[in-house]
Structure 1
Amino acid sequence: MKVHQIKENCLYVSDLAKTRQFYEKLMGFELISFVEGRHVFFKAGSSVLLCFLPEVTKSETKLPPHFAYGQQHLAFEVDLKEYEVWKAYLKEQNISILHEQHWKDNLYSFYFHDPDQHVLEILPPGIWE
């Protein structure tokens, strides 16, 4: 058996409207589903980003309960030629770059927060290869 990819990633958020604004409008992710009072889902490349209200999903009965609190981390891969474009764009949107990390082969990634203070990272191909 072989796993092809991680298809979904979850973040647990406090405000669906702010989350939707950030990921759909600012990050440019395609909206898949919005259910007021429960979740907002996005298409991010070939993956899906699921954003839930933890107080709702921790008491699920149709699906296994799931929830988390605190700062979570996701990394988004972009083309190498787009790395600096993303960094400049986020700065223009008044999103602070928390840290830029130098990795092997002269590759870099940078970190920033979403509205729930989750730690997001932009990185080019090659860091995990």
Structure 2
Amino acid sequence: MSSSSTRSPSYSSSADKVWPPRQSDHSNSRLAFNMITSTMFGLGVKATQVAILMETKLYHYTPEMKAITKIKWLVPSVYLKTAAVWAPVGYIYYWSRLRISYLLAQKQREMAQSANRTLRSQRRAADIEIDGLPM
């Protein structure tokens, strides 16, 4: 009687079984990344447009109106320009973090596959030794 008949099906040596189970390429992370980066990039573009529009509109007023409007729009203008500068920086930062996490997960998958191959070959060698003995 061989030991392979008592082995559970989870120990089958098919090449398509990999532990840990393969993720769907970080679909949730990619969705979150797309939402964050598109929002940040869109805000950056819109902030640039609004800042340019505000600065060009200021020159159509009289000097008194221009002074009042400049004081009124100073804080939003600085904020929007800052957002326009930092949105691409945030985009690159989140993209690089996602890429690094993807590469780390890929490396872990490769290591797990290598360990599974080694384990399967050890099990086959053990089965051959056990099956060779008379019962």
What TM-score range do you get, normalising by the shorter chain?
under 0.3
Report which of the two structures shows the higher radius of gyration computed on alpha carbons.
2
More helix as a share of residues: 2
- TM-score computed with the length of structure 2 as normaliser: 0.16
Higher relative contact order (CA 8 A, sep 6+): 2
- TM-score computed with the length of structure 1 as normaliser: 0.16
More strand as a share of residues: 1
